[in-house]
Each structure stands twice: as C-alpha cells, then as structure tokens.
Amino acid sequence: MLWPQSDGRHSPISAAVLTGAEVDQTAGLLTLRERQPFDLFATAPTLALLGANPMFGVLARDVVRRQAVEFGESFTVAGVEVELFRVSGKVPLYREGAGDLADDTAGVEVRRDGVRLVFIPGIAAMNDDIRERLARADAVMIDGTLFTDDEMIRAGTGEKTGRRMGHMPLDGEDGTLEALAGLSNRRVLIHINNTNPILVDGSPERVRVEQAGWEVAEDGQEIVL
Amino acid sequence: MLWPQSDGRHSPISAAVLTGAEVDQTAGLLTLRERQPFDLFATAPTLALLGANPMFGVLARDVVRRQAVEFGESFTVAGVEVELFRVSGKVPLYREGAGDLADDTAGVEVRRDGVRLVFIPGIAAMNDDIRERLARADAVMIDGTLFTDDEMIRAGTGEKTGRRMGHMPLDGEDGTLEALAGLSNRRVLIHINNTNPILVDGSPERVRVEQAGWEVAEDGQEIVL
C-alpha cells in the first residue's frame, strides 16, 4: 500500500477502507489531512454520514477521493482484492435516535493470490452466510469486544449490553465461541473492550478462548499468510 | 483538575477549554467520549461549529456540559481562574468558503494566586492589547508554527503562507520575535510545524530564538510557576 514518496511530506497510506462511520472507525482520518492523496472506500451511507460532518471537509475532495462501493462488490486496493459485506450491527452511537439511516455495518474480505482474510470489527449476530465466509478464509479477525453480554453493566462502566452496542459476546449459548466452534483456520479476536477478562494473561476466560483455538490480538501484531 | 475517582472507569480530566474549532483543537475530544463527565468551555460560535458535526454528539449532552463563555469573561475551572480573549486568526479550514461564521480564534489566560499564564496556539497578527497582556504574564506560551511566512511553500509541503493559515511567522519585521522583543518573562514557543528549523537543535534559527530568550516546547514539558 505504498504511495510514491515525494520530496516533501509523505504518507505511505494509499487507501482507507471503512467498515462503518462510528467514531473509532473514522476519527483517525482526521490525522491524515495534510493534503496527502489517498482513496477512501466505504458504502454510500457511510460516506454520507462522514459528509454530514463538516469537519471531515479537511480531507479535501480534490485530494482524498471518496469511492462509494456496494456490499458484495470487489474492488482493488494496491493490488489486493477487497470486498465489503453486510453484517448485523447498529447505526453509529451519534446517529441513534436520528431514525433516518439504515444500519450499514460492514465486514471486509481481503483476497490475494487465493489467500483470504476476513475482518469483522463489530457484529451483533451470526448467520449462515457469514459463518460460511469465515470458514473459507485462511485467517479471521473478529469482534471480541465483550466476554459476556452484561459485562459492562456488572463492571459499572456502562448501562448497555453488548448486543445493544452492536457486539455479540464471546461467551454463552449464542456467543461467538459457540457460533464459530466449527472453524479450524487462524482466528484472532480484535476490538477488545478493557472490561474483557481475556485481556488478562492466564485468566480462566483467556485460557478458555485459547483452548478453543483463538488468539487475542496484540498491538503491532503481524500476520503472515 | 481531578475528578473524584469512581469504582469503574475514570478520567482525571474535569474540564476542557477550547481556543477554537479547528481539527487540532477539537478532535481529541472524540477520545474522551465514554460517558465521563466533564465541562466543555468555549465561545458560543466554537460550540456551534462543534454542534454542526453530529459526530460530537458522542459527548452526550447530559454528561459533557457545554458552557458558552464570552471573550473577557472569567470563569473557574478546578480552582483556577480562566479567561478567553480574542486574537486575530481565521475560521477553521473546514469552514473556509462557508462565509457564515466569524473568526473566533481565542487565547487563554490562566490565573491563580496572582500568577498568570497566557496561552495562544494560533495568532495571525499582534496588537497592543495582546502585547500588554503578554507582558503582564509570568509565563507565555505562543504560536511558533513557522519561522518564515513562506516556509511551507519553499519546502514544497503547502501552497499557503503562514499568515494565510492564521499564523504570524517568528522571523521578519512584523514577526513574533520582533513584535515581542520587549518581553522578559518566561516565553515558550508551541504549535511548531515540522518544517520549522527551530526544531533542529543547534540550527541557526534555534540559536536565534534561544538568544532572544525563547524556549522551544518539548513533549511532556512541565512548567512550574
């Protein structure tokens, strides 16, 4: 994903692909604003949500090319084939109550030379299509926000269940571990909330996800496929 | 500025004071969004600019109290007296061309027990009122974005002069060094662009500002008054 280095300022980022318009998916764009060209791929509703915030005008439209893509449409980013697909989620927190926008939560499948990576930072419920897509992948990175659905309520850090926030829990009958028990590919949990006990090395919950074949993502982790 | 520590999540930040609505003055608020209460002080136009961006709705209005303040009005933040004052600047980049908003660039004076700090991260031109305010202060932190007005153009990193971006240069007849040559208090240059040669230890420009009695701010710097 290298952009040709210029004489002046330089960014190695040639494209960004958004899986939604929530703050943690978009605020980082504001640090890429110094008239460095890149392509910004997202669904039209996600781009519309960004466009409704004048501040994102700092990504000048003559420099940062908005590219609206459809779910299921493949596009190429720096030689890699990319496809967004719909997952069950929720509208961004700051649009709750606005009532005018469809849930547009996405996962990403990345393909090159027959190798597949599937990345889903937020998912509220599993279904057969997504389970099959995950099973086909060489590696899976998926929403590990909470271990139990009411974890933040019990920790006193929030009033919402995980599902209410668009995140299915890892544990429980309809949790991610159970839903994906049949997978045997490389599986990495991402987007982990600081209340989640799997962050504690050696905790019973950490041991449990590791014994089920899952990794817990680390800062700076590199995955070679 | 301590907020009483709670059982759950905790932030030591009890208030934020904005000197404008430019991205580098506001985007950090998006990381303070986990329903932690604090007061947000700014002028009404600055709060309106934030309010025009739905994304800042993540700072829930029942938790983050917007406090509109007037230029010249003193208010108290955690036992410290604070006053915003108007400086010459410009509207935020993302509102250029919108034509509906006044320039609302602010400096901040902070007072406690007779000790004064003046903080001005962006200023396009000096005037007598501000010079007198700076002279009264025990310490001054001021806009050191560029050394010369056309520095970014010559470096090939931009097409705008410093003044066009709302920043008077340090050097030159009407630069900051000349305009504030009479000051003898503690003076620290902040908001320094990465093209500014004063960032290079031992450069002629660095030597020049140091010989004129100025410090170049460093990450993590603490100032005791």
Task: Please report which confidence band the pLDDT of residue B210 belongs to, taking 50, 70 and 90 as the band edges.
Answer: very high
Tokens at residue A22, please? 């929530």
Poorest-pLDDT segment among A5-19, A140-154, A190-204: A5-19
Contact B52 A54 (CB under 8 A): yes
Buried b (16+ CB within 10 A) or exposed e, A30-60: beebeebebbbbbbebbbebbebbebbbbbe
Strand order in the sheet with A74-77: A74-77, A80-86, A106-112, A115-120, A139-143, A186-190, A214-216
Question: CA B147 to CA B168: how far, in whole Å?
Answer: 9
pLDDT above 70: residue B82 = yes
Mean pLDDT rounded to a whole number for chain A: 90
* Mean local confidence (pLDDT), A130-156: 93
Question: CA B19 to CA B74: how far, in whole Å?
Answer: 14
B76 touches chain A (CB under 8 A): no
Question: CA B69 to CA B66: how far, in whole Å?
Answer: 10
| B135 close to B185: Cβ distance less than 8 angstroms | yes
Please report the pLDDT score of residue B89 as a whole number: 85
Please report the pLDDT score of residue B1 as a whole number: 35
Please report the pLDDT score of residue A1 as a whole number: 35
Q: Which chain B residues are closer than 8 Å to A153 by Cβ?
A: none
Please report the pLDDT score of residue A121 as a whole number: 94
Task: Please report which confidence band the pLDDT of residue B78 belongs to, taking 50, 70 and 90 as the band edges.
Answer: confident
Q: When comparing pLDDT for B110 and B7, which is higher?
A: B110
* Mean local confidence (pLDDT), A150-163: 85
Q: Show the CA angle centred on residue A151, arms to residues A150 and A157, nearest 5°.
A: 105
Compute CA distances B156 → A35, B151, B153, B161, whole Å.
12, 9, 5, 12
pLDDT above 90: residue B135 = yes
Compute CA distances A33 → A46, A59, A63, B206, whole Å.
19, 5, 9, 28
In the block, tokens 């007598």 appear at: B128
A78 touches chain B (CB under 8 A): no
Task: Please report which confidence band the pLDDT of residue A47 belongs to, taking 50, 70 and 90 as the band edges.
Answer: very high
| Phi, psi angle pair for A117, to nearest 5° | -120, 135
* Mean local confidence (pLDDT), B186-212: 96
Query: Residues 6 or more apart from A22 whose CB is under 8 A from it?
Result: A92, A93, A122
B53 touches chain A (CB under 8 A): yes
Compute CA distances B127 → A103, A146, A148, A150, B179, whole Å.
52, 55, 60, 58, 9
Compute CA distances B197 → B70, B119, B123, B156, B215, whole Å.
37, 22, 19, 15, 14
Residue A140, CB-side half-sphere exposure with 13 Å CA sphere: 24
| B78 close to B105: Cβ distance less than 8 angstroms | no
Q: What is the ipTM of this complex?
A: 0.83
Q: How far is B38 from chain A (nearest CA, A)?
A: 16
| B122 close to B167: Cβ distance less than 8 angstroms | yes
A55 touches chain B (CB under 8 A): yes
pLDDT over 90 percentage in chain A = 70
Q: When comparing pLDDT for A107 and A163, which is higher?
A: A107
In the block, tokens 């649009």 appear at: A95
pLDDT above 70: residue A102 = no
| B40 close to B82: Cβ distance less than 8 angstroms | no
A66 touches chain B (CB under 8 A): no
Tell me the three state secondary structure of residue A225: coil
